[in-house]
Amino acid sequence: MPTLDLTGSAIPTVAEVLTKLGADPKTGLSPADLQERLNKYGPNALAEKKKSQLSAFLAYFWGPIPWMIEAAALMALIVRDWGDFTIIASLLLFNALLGFWEEHEASNALDALKSSLALKARALRGGKWEQVDAQTLVPGDIIRLYLGDVVPADCKLIQGDYISIDQSALTGESLPVTKKSGEDAYSGSVVKQGEMVAVVTATGGSTFFGRTAKLVAGAGNVSHFQRAVMKIGNFLIILALVLVVILVASRLFDMRGHYDRAVLLRLAEIVLILLVA
């Protein structure tokens, strides 16, 4: 989604923001302007990427390291080492359940954030105040905030004495914050006192709320440290496979067609040890 850059070396004034947004606090946006900006910025909503619970859970059994552990479990079955098989399978299942639970908790936190978004807003369109669907708001829209309203998008306050806003869900501040003309109000915060007019500066995923939601949604993503650990793990996997190939090849060469079942089982146990290690 395109973003509107209002940052700079100094905090922009109300007049500068209105000019940059092409907003008129007396008439608001025309239908043509509204449609053009909707096409450019998209709806004031967070993009959702849902996947099934089953596919999310099965994903933890797919990958180089899970494959090695699964191969070790298979080798334990072949040599009928039930103790090792139980331990390996239990660890594999525990790792999958733990990862799935963490991802599920992150998804629940994101849903809780989304549930606090405003559904309706009062916007100045074509010189008239209207109650509109909050998803139709675009940068440059003039909106009015009342007591009890959920702020529908990031905005700069432009008219009125002051409002008191509860933004604890976004910033963790326990007490409401007083905002005056020229200050910013964030999507998802709640008006506790006062009434003001504001101009929308960011919508959807470009809002402070949207960026927070993206961080929550990415809680299960692989970090730099995890990538480093995975590289080490992949190197050890390759090393183990090379050792297994060398060991099996050398033993088969020594036997030269005279295969001993006991020796083969012992060889399988050694391979199992290498895979688990």
pLDDT in tens, 77-120: 776 778 778 887 888 888 888 888 877 776 666 666 555 565 88
150 with 20, same domain: the answer is yes
Tokens of 89: 């399978």
158 with 125, same domain: the answer is yes
Per-residue pLDDT, 234: 74
Tokens of 91: 């660890």
| C-alpha–C-alpha distance, residues 139 and 201, integer Å | 5
| C-alpha–C-alpha distance, residues 138 and 203, integer Å | 6
Determine what percent of the chain is predicted with pLDDT higher than 90.
35
Query: Contact, 237 vs 275, CB < 8 A?
Result: no
Query: Contact, 177 vs 163, CB < 8 A?
Result: no
Domain assignment present for residue 18? The answer is: yes
DSSP 216-227: HHGGGSPPHHHH
As a whole number of Å, the CA-based R_g of the chain is: 29
| C-alpha–C-alpha distance, residues 190 and 176, integer Å | 9
125 with 209, same domain: the answer is yes
The structure's pTM equals 0.58
Query: Contact, 248 vs 272, CB < 8 A?
Result: no
DSSP letter, residue 193? E
The region of weakest confidence among 37-51, 155-169, 238-252 is 238-252
144 with 19, same domain: the answer is yes
Domain assignment present for residue 163? The answer is: yes
The parent domain of residue 174 ranges over: 14-30+120-218
pLDDT in tens, 228-239: 767 776 777 777
Non-local CB neighbours of 19 within 8 Å, separated by 6+ positions: none
Q: Nearest-CA neighbor of 58 among 92, 91, 106, 28?
A: 92
250 with 227, same domain: the answer is yes
**CA diameter of the chain:** 96
Mean pLDDT computed over every residue of the chain: 79
User: Among 188, 218, 248, where does a domain finish?
Assistant: 218
